[in-house]
Structure 1
Amino acid sequence: MRAIWTGAITFGLVNVPVKVYSATEDHDISLHQVHDADGGRIRYQRRCEICGKIVDFEHIDKAYDDGERTVVLTSDDLSSIPVEKSREIDVVEFVPSDQLDPIMFDRSYFLEPQTNAAKAYTLLRRTLEKTDRTAIVHFALRQKTRLGALRVRGDVLMLQSLLWDDEVREASFPALDERVRISSRELEMSESLVESFASDFEPDRFSDDYQEQLRELIDAKLDKGEALDTDETFGEGDEDSGGEVLDLMEALRRSVERNRSGGSSSAPAAKPAAKKSTAKRSTAKKSTAKKPAADKSAAKKSTAATKAAKKSPAKKSPAKKSAAKKPAAKKPSTTKSAATKPAAVRQEKKSA
């Protein structure tokens, strides 16, 4: 773990230097929004409602709106307020531990003793255990003054930030004001039902089924080879910005989008190439198939060389036709010329 804050527990003349660590973490898998058409990342923009321009952080101020009027607070206005930068966890009082309502607990932090503070740290922990009391403290974290409870958890001192009194709502429901009659028999049956479920609380017996099933879904899609290149869709990111979980989620999103589009990302690009290759093969076969015909014609020419010398030159035209069989367009021209001669003869007869 990494310390987020360093300071000291102080009460009276006692000073215990400590390091503060976050005691809890979120185990939810991080998901992002993407375009269902192409899997592109959806990003939010800070756009002004008046001019319509995208505004950078350096030009953004804060404001308070009471419903009728708006008060703008600039960075200079906020800097005029004294910022709480104390590094002390100041003990205000020691109260019985059972007087703290769990609804007031907010964030939890572990406290580690710094160098040469182990004895004072252990003395304070054992004193709280023996007296069964919790220390109510004031401390500053992230430039805000906070109320906290300093108590013992195992061998560690724990600091828990508390909600202020006006942050806890009052429960006022009209249904609770109605008088309800419960018989002794109903109460006994209810108590027996509670006893049937009675057990000691063991946190490790419980797990987040949804997150586990989500992880199984991700792993199953990765095993099927549905993961795509993250940089192709989202661009190259920072080395420290993602982590393994982020890469897996981006791969999942890409695979989902590819399935929705019917594999349009890679399959259609491969099919035209395959057609071209087959076309080339077919043309190659045609060219190779014509070679034997050319060899036969050459062989015929060589064997009939003596005959061709004796015969008339008019018989050489069929050889030329056989060698020039490719231009099929000459046939219609010959037919047209043959068809025009009878028409000319007819005109001469009519004139005669």
Structure 2
Amino acid sequence: MESVDPLRIADGYYLQAAGQVAAKPYKFLVKALGRSAKVAVAKYAWSGRERLGLLRVKDDVLVLHAMRWPDEIRDPAELLPPPVQVSDEEIEGALALMDTMTVDRLEGPEFHDRYTEAIAEIIEAKREEKPLPEAPEWSSRPRSST
């Protein structure tokens, strides 16, 4: 997969065999792809469109990664800012700041999906006809633009 631009790769989906008839071809593909350390390119139909995908193996299960067609990706040259000069000292300062903000693992309260929990609480309150929960006090407020 290293030869595929990550911008072309979209969502990933686990695939399963559709019954006993598909079990042997599924297992065959899993074993062959796993042993080769390669991915397969597949064409499939989704929502009335022909799509491209990458098939790979993860934990003895096939995973289909949807791919974007080249015309679905913007040309990054459109997004470039006007030319500016940046000094080595500014870059070193940015690197030093990045070092102070680097974490080794994506764990802890800042990486917890509080939004999904809040939605579940709202749904449960509505289901039980109870008052909606209070909005939480956020730890970071939007900065003023002035």
Instruction: Check if 1:181 corresponds to 2:86.
Output: yes
Instruction: Check if 1:145 corresponds to 2:53.
Output: no
Instruction: Check if 1:156 corresponds to 2:48.
Output: no
C-alpha distance 99-208 of structure 1, shift in aligned 2 (>3 A): same
Match of 1:193 in 2: 97
> What is the deviation of 1:119?
4.4
Instruction: Check if 1:120 corresponds to 2:24.
Output: no
Higher Cα radius of gyration: 1
The structure 2 residue matched to 1:134, chosen from 25, 32, 39, is 39
Note the residue ranges of structure 1 that are not aligned, 5 or more in a row: 1-96, 228-247, 257-352
Question: How many angstroms apart in 1 are the aligned matches of 2:87 and 2:103?
Answer: 22
C-alpha distance 169-208 of structure 1, shift in aligned 2 (>3 A): same
Higher relative contact order (CA 8 A, sep 6+): 2
Which of structure 1's runs of 4+ aligned residues deviate more than 4 A? Answer: none
CA contact (8 A) 1:125 1:156 kept: no
Paired AA for residue 29 in structure 2? Y
Paired AA for residue 11 in structure 2? R
C-alpha distance 144-118 of structure 1, shift in aligned 2 (>3 A): closer
CA contact (8 A) 2:30 2:57 kept: no
Match of 2:2 in 1: 98
Report the TM-score when normalising by structure 1. 0.30
Question: How many angstroms apart in 2 are the aligned matches of 1:116 and 1:173?
Answer: 48
Question: How many angstroms apart in 2 are the aligned matches of 1:154 and 1:140?
Answer: 25
Q: Deviation string for 1:326-352 (max 9, x for gaps)?
A: xxxxxxxxxxxxxxxxxxxxxxxxxxx
Question: How many angstroms apart in 2 are the aligned matches of 1:167 and 1:98?
Answer: 20
CA contact (8 A) 1:148 1:161 kept: yes
Tell me the SS of whatever aligns to 1:98: coil
Report the TM-score when normalising by structure 2. 0.63
Question: How many angstroms apart in 2 are the aligned matches of 1:102 and 1:165?
Answer: 12
Instruction: Check if 1:108 corresponds to 2:12.
Output: yes
Match of 2:139 in 1: none
- Which structure is higher in helix share? 1
> What is the deviation of 1:151?
2.0
Paired AA for residue 92 in structure 2? E
Question: How many angstroms apart in 2 are the aligned matches of 1:212 and 1:186?
Answer: 41
Match of 1:213 in 2: 118
> What is the deviation of 1:166?
0.6
Question: How many angstroms apart in 2 are the aligned matches of 1:178 and 1:125?
Answer: 46
Tell me the SS of whatever aligns to 2:71: helix
